[in-house]
């Protein structure tokens, strides 16, 4: 189980209103007490912060906003002392336009770095080389007058794409990864890893019918959704690069790589990217959508099970890019244990799981006024899409003015409903989402089948999803009621299994071979004898 730390919003010790590495160090004990195995730290590298750290200007330097390299070393040492592995974000497909590589590359067409980024001539009429669109809106090309050429940016124009067709680029990228592995990190979360290569012929992406214009984190009015993205990402050449990356990781025993994958067929790409000799784990965005129903969740897991012949999945129901799950799936009227229910469901699937900071507290999506918005994505598409700030507001540690996050002015406002859900208040409440999360995670660890057992779904109808993990005497039956009212499930031959109520959620009872589950409740059982 991996706990995602978003440094800007975790804990601020120096009072500038932005979280920092010393703040993470200060609260590592809290993370360890959750029972998780590892932390994933979102970018803390030197950056102009156009995309809040996902635009890196120096891969080997800590941005002064977060501290210095000594702070990171102390974080690593304390985490290891607490039994926590440390994964760091690596943003390999693009850099900041303030990176020295890009500054050199844009100077001319004939210097050492001239081919390190994706450059292309204009069409005869001066327009962009092809029809590729940026995920953040508008065309994916920016004119550079110094070279009299366009450069590619799949994200912000301040995030130029590296040219991975150039072997010197791949070597330099791997050397930066090696720097952190040598420092002792245990793993990498690879941002947008399928975006490293582009189609060398720069072919136009084909149009997508209006009814299919859906996707990760953007609404159908974003022109990015108007295309099938066959050529600006997920190119076959990337597979060889993943092999090079894996060969590097294999020199550091225990080091793992988790790839973020968003493609036209993300589950097929996950299968390709996690085969032997490539990434250890992959995750996509199928459970980061609004689809909270048995058909979608069960169907997604079954497709993963059918398609990933060699790899290991990783599940996420929240992260720093999507609306918080309590709001997205709870739809505003769920009980407080709903947060524990959905976390328990994700943690019961086969695979690893990423838990985003605040999930354990049951934080809903924050409503951030336009005048307080920081996310460039939200500013561009307001009001139809309000961006990602609502899931990035600072973590509330107590009920004080700064919510225990900072004694300065927080970089994003902390809403009153979050202050009411602060860590200190939940610590002493046995029925709080925080203690429910801790109880479930501790219970899960006592059942080996929930860690590495196979998964087999049982016949069920909305709103109950049920499956068995593992086989034989160690098998565990899990059933979850995704709805607010009482629901039933026919257990058949498993009606005689022994119930285990230690998971901490409202549980059900079996009568005459039928399980009755309370609203948003869960049931667990093991074979008799």
Of 55, 144, 191, 321, the catalytic one is 191
Q: At what angle do helices 294-307 and 266-273 cross, to 10 degrees?
A: 30
Rounded to a whole number of angstroms, the CA Rg of the chain reads: 23
Long-range Cβ contact pairs of 9-13 (< 8 A, separation 24 or more): 9/357, 9/392, 9/393, 9/394, 9/395, 9/405, 9/411, 9/412, 10/357, 10/394, 10/395, 11/395, 11/397, 11/405, 12/394, 12/405, 12/406, 12/408, 12/410
**Which phi and psi angles does 41 have, rounded to 5°?**
-105, 120
- CA dist 308 and 310 (Å) reads 6
Task: Please confirm, yes or no, whether 333 is among the known catalytic residues.
Answer: no
Q: Please pick, among 199, 260, 272, 359, the residue that the annotation labels catalytic.
A: 260
What's the token pair of residue 166?
């150039």
DSSP reduced 3-state for 154? coil
For residues 479 and 508, the answer to whether their CB atoms sit within 8 Å is yes
Strands 514-517 and 509-511, bridge-based pairing: antiparallel
Let me know if 260 is a catalytic residue: yes
What are phi and psi for residue 515, nearest 5 degrees? -90, 130
Q: Give the largest Cα separation in the chain, rounded.
A: 79
Residues 20 and 7 sit within 8 Å (Cβ to Cβ) = yes
Residue 306 has phi, psi (to 5 degrees) of -80, -30
CB-facing half-sphere around the CA of 158: CA atoms within 13 A: 14
CA distance 525 to 529: 12
Q: Annotated active-site positions, please?
A: 191, 260
């Amino acid at each position: 189980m991996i706990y995602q730390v978003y440094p800007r919003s975790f804990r601020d010790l120096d009072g500038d209103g932005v979280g920092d590495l010393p703040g993470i160090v200060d609260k590592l004990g809290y993370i360890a007490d959750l029972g998780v195995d590892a932390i994933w730290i979102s970018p803390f590298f030197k950056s102009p912060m156009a995309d809040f750290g996902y635009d890196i200007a120096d891969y080997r330097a800590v941005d002064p906003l977060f501290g210095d390299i000594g702070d990171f070393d102390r974080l690593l040492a304390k985490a290891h002392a607490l039994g926590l592995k440390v994964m760091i974000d690596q943003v390999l497909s693009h850099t900041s336009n303030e990176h020295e590589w890009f500054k050199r590359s844009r100077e001319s067409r004939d210097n050492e770095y001239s081919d390190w980024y994706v450059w292309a001539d204009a069409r005869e009429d001066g327009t962009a080389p092809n029809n590729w669109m940026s995920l953040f809106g508008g065309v994916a090309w920016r004119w550079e007058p110094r070279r009299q050429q366009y450069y590619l940016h799949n994200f912000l124009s301040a995030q130029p794409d590296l040219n991975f067709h150039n072997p010197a680029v791949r070597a330099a990228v791997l050397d930066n990864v090696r720097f952190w592995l040598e420092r002792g990190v245990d793993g990498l979360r690879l941002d947008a890893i399928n975006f490293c290569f582009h189609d060398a012929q720069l072919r136009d992406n084909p149009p997508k019918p209006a009814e299919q214009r859906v996707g990760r984190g953007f609404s159908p009015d974003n022109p990015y959704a108007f295309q099938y993205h066959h050529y600006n990402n997920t190119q076959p050449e990337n597979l060889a690069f993943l092999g090079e990356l894996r060969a590097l990781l294999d020199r550091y025993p225990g080091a793992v790589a988790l790839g973020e994958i968003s493609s036209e067929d993300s589950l097929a790409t996950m299968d390709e990217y996690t085969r032997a000799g490539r990434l250890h784990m992959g995750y996509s965005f199928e459970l980061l959508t609004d689809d909270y129903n048995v058909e979608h969740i069960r169907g997604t897991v079954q497709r993963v099970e059918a398609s990933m012949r060699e790899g290991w999945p990783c599940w996420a129901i929240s992260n720093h890019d999507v609306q918080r799950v309590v709001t997205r799936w709870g739809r505003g009227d769920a009980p407080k244990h709903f947060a524990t229910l959905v976390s328990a469901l994700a943690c019961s699937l086969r695979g690893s799981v990423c838990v985003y900071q605040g999930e354990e507290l049951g934080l809903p999506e924050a409503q951030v006024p336009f005048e307080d918005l920081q996310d460039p994505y939200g500013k561009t598409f307001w009001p139809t899409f309000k961006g990602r700030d609502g899931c990035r507001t600072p973590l509330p540690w107590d009920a004080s003015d700064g919510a225990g996050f900072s004694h300065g002015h927080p970089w994003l406002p902390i809403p009153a409903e979050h202050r009411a859900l602060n860590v200190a208040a939940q610590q002493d409440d046995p029925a709080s989402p925080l203690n429910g999360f801790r109880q479930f995670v501790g219970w899960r660890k006592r059942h080996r089948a929930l860690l590495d057992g196979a998964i087999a779904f049982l016949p069920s109808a909305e709103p109950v999803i049920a499956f068995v993990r593992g086989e034989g005497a160690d098998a565990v039956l899990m059933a979850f009621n995704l709805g607010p009212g009482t629901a039933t499930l026919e257990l058949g031959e498993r009606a005689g299994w022994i119930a285990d109520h230690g998971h901490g959620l409202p549980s059900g009872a079996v009568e005459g071979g039928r399980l009755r589950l309370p609203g948003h409740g869960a049931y667990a059982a093991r074979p008799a004898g």
